Structures are given as C-alpha cells and as structure tokens.
Amino acid sequence: MGACALRIRGGSIGTKATSLGTDRSGHGCLAHALPVGMSNPHQGSRTRGLVDDIVEVAEISAPTFSEEARLAWVESRLAGLPGSRRRDTVGNLIWSFGNGRPEILLTAHLDTVFGEDVPLTVTRADSRLRGPGVGDNAAAIATVIGVVEDLAAGGEADGIAVAFTVGEEGLGNLRGAHAACDALKPMAMIALEGHGLDEVFVDAIGSVRARVVVRGPGGHSWVDRDLPSAVHAMLVLGSELIAGPTPLAPVNVGVVSGGRSVNALADEAWLLVERRSVDEEPLATFVEQLGGLAVESPLTVSVEDLVRRPCGRLPRDAALLQTVREVRRELGLPDVLVPASTDANAALARGIPALALGVARGSGMHTVAEQIELDSLELGRRQLELVLRRSLG
C-alpha cells in the first residue's frame, strides 16, 4: 500500500507497523481516501477500522454521569469477542482475560466534558479528525479495543483487564477508576488518553474541588441597604481563596453564580473552586482553608460537594515505566515525563504502579475545536501493543 505509506515523526518502526496499510488499512489511509462514515474497501474482515470506531464513539453523547449510550456501544462492539464482560457496581464495563488479579489494568474513560446540547459531529480535514471529544477520549477507547482485540485473537491477552470507566472528567471524581482499582486490585495500571503521545504521564496531579455557598436574607438594594449581600460576601471569599496559590499548586475559581437582579440584595451566591498539586501538603492546606471560611451574621457559608482527587508519584525505577521508556525509544517517541490528572491517580493513590499514555497527537482538548492527527494513531496503537506484550512477559 505505497500510497498509504506511514509517516513517522522522529523515528522509524519495523515492518509490522505497516499493518496500517494492510489488514487495518482504514486506520491510516482514510486521511486522504474517504469521507467520515464510509467504509474502506481495504478494511480487513477481522477487525473494524480504528478511525470508524473513533468517529462512532465521538458522536455518542457521554457527559459525566450520563455514559450509558457509550457503554451500550462498547458492549455491542465487543459482542462475540474473547474474554468476559460485566458491568460493575458504579457502571464501568470490565473486559477481562484470565483468572485472578490482572497483571495489568487498562482504563479508557467513557465520559466527556460536553453537555447533551453540544453537537458532536466529527469531520475530517486533510490528515485530521475534528470534533468534540474525538481525542479525549474516543481515540483511547477505540485504540484499547483494537489492540486488546488483536492480542486476544492471538491468545495473548491473559492477565489483561480493561475498564471502560465512568466519571473521569469534572466532578466525576474518578469514581470509575477508584471502583475498578478496589475491585480488581491490579498489579499495574495504564490509563489511556486520546492526547499526549509525545509524553508519558507519570505523576498524578491531585485536586480539591468544592462548591462554596453563601446564603442570607436578601432584600431591596435601597430599602434594605443595611443588610449584607450574599454576592458581596462570596466575592470576598473568592478573593481570599485565590490569594495564596503557588506556581505548582494553582487555585482556580471556575464558576460563580448568584443573585436575582441589579436592584436586589442577593440571598444566595456560590462559586466552584479547585486547587491542584502533585503533592499532598498544598491540598491539605486548602481543605483547612475551606473549612475555616467565615461570613458575618446573618449570612451563612457552607462548603458543599467537596471532592478530593488523590495525588501521587510513580517511582522512576518501576518496571512498567522501564518498559514504556524502552518501547518509546524503539518507536522514536520522546522520553518526556510529565504529571497529569487521569484515571491513573486512583491507582497511584493506592500504591499501584500506574501511568497514563496518549494514543495520538492533537490539540484543542476540552473544546469544540478538538482535533487529532490521523497519522499519529498507528504509533499510539503500536506503543500500547508493545508495552502490553512485554509487560505480560
């Protein structure tokens, strides 16, 4: 398939990688061949095209806490494949091979940051797929399915468990990943993300997230001018909260809301605030600060929906990291280690060796202008396949 020659940035890979242009030709050649949604005439019968899977997943709405439609898609995609499948207590779909503790747990989160009202049409322009969630996390979901399907077909998937997780984004608080780690107790974990092929996410950025609510009597802005306003008090609390961040432990007030009218004293106001860090101390300090927030009577303040996303660091001599770095050297991928906030946080917080890997290069994550580079997908697929083969011995 000369016309579909694989372009690899920064290195070369062996002849097996040219499967992009053979049995899975739909993965690499579609960039200049067919409109999205059309089947590729070169596509093998054993597996479906990776790109087709990405498009189908990305076009299914899956806001955090509403992942059911995507779960149903994955279940039907996996129907008839080897391995066992089950839903767990929080709604993850677990696809596993072999008995006992998994040697390696792979996670791909199902949810997105986009509400039901956001159109999810995927388009292809030049060598890119464009659309909300096309990388984060449709590309990861499709890649993990394709790679594990290939390994299973060769009888090489024993020891693998895949968790298609719920609740990774926003206020989902990693509930899917926490439940999967508790139930499966894996020996190691890799969280798959759509973006970030040029980096390895080795440390877990933890966070504290909370809704701070101020309530009061409200009133007329002139008649009741001696009374306090919930909005005014909330602005003061917000400025206190953003006064003390450090470069590696930033504070963000992401949403503010409250009040009824320009000529009414607000009876309620609230804000959503977050602090992030890879170290525990700034997070613990922030929890203390939230607990100490005070307003003058008759106003009241309460901290609601307080959630903690755990932080953690992967030891640099972990076998999993050694394997990943070795594979990346061979594939010509950069040896860049960075922190991130992913499903891997849940494992690192439990002392389970874990990291996150991207499956593609792209941009615009968490925006409607998100896109991924089609040519990068084969490298992402190959990286995961090699890491799994070597991790499983």
C-beta atoms surrounding 255 within 10 Å: 10
196 vs 238 by CB, closer to Zn ion: 196
| Residue with Cβ nearer Zn ion (111 or 385) | 111
Rounded CA-CA distance 201/378 in Å is: 19
CA–CA separation, 177 vs 88, rounded Å? 11
And the tokens for 174? Answer: 């990693």
Q: Whole-number minimum distance, CB 104 to Zn ion, in Å?
A: 22
* Least spacing, CB of residue 117 vs Zn ion, in Å: 18
136 is a contact residue toward Zn ion (CB under 5 A): yes
Which residue in 339, 377, 331 sits closest to 323, CA to CA?
331
Closest CA to 207 of 293, 314, 307: 307
Q: Which is nearer to Zn ion, 5 or 118 (CB)?
A: 118
The pair of three-digit structure tokens given for residue 363, joined into one six-digit string: 């941009």
Other beta carbons within 10 Å of 375: 19
Give the residue closest to Zn ion by C-beta. 136
CA dist., res. 246 & res. 93, Å (int)? 39
* Cβ 185 to Zn ion shortest distance, Å: 26
CB atoms within 10 A of CB 89: 8
Please check whether residue 144 is in contact with residue 54, taking contact to mean a CB–CB distance below 8 angstroms.
no
Q: Give whole-number Cα distances, 360 to 165, 272, 274, 276, in Å.
A: 19, 31, 28, 25
89-97, 122-130, 135-143, 375-383 -> range binding Zn ion (CB under 5 A) = 135-143
Considering only residues 101 through 120, tell me which ones interact with Zn ion, judged by CB under 5 A.
none
Count of positions (residues) in the chain: 393
Q: Which is nearer to Zn ion, 136 or 375 (CB)?
A: 136
In the complex, least distance from residue 163 CB atom to Zn ion, rounded to whole angstroms: 16
> Which CB sits closer to Zn ion, 373 or 385?
373
- Identity of the residue, 48 or 178, whose beta carbon is nearer to Zn ion in the bound complex: 178
Tell me how far, at minimum, the Cβ of 130 lies from Zn ion, in Å: 17
Kindly state the smallest distance separating residue 205's Cβ from Zn ion, in Å. Answer: 13
The count of residues interacting with Zn ion (CB under 5 A) is 1
Segment interacting with Zn ion (CB under 5 A) among 16-24, 133-141, 239-247, 340-348: 133-141
Does the footprint of Zn ion cover residue 203 (CB under 5 A)?
A: no
The CB-of-195 to Zn ion minimum distance in angstroms stands at 8
| Closest to Zn ion by CB, 52 or 136 | 136
Q: What SS3 state is found at 358?
A: strand
Judged by CB under 5 A, which stretch of 26-34, 136-144, 218-226, 373-381 contacts Zn ion? 136-144
Specify the DSSP class assigned to residue 246.
Answer: B
Determine contact, residues 274/252, Cβ cutoff 8 Å. Answer: yes
Rounded-to-integer distance, Cα 15 and Cα 23, Å: 13
| Shortest CB 366 distance to Zn ion, Å | 6
**Contact window for Zn ion (CB under 5 A) among 93-101, 132-140, 309-317, 341-349:** 132-140
Nearer CB in complex with Zn ion: 43/137: 137
> What residue has token string 């432990």?
249
Residues that bind Zn ion (CB under 5 A): 136
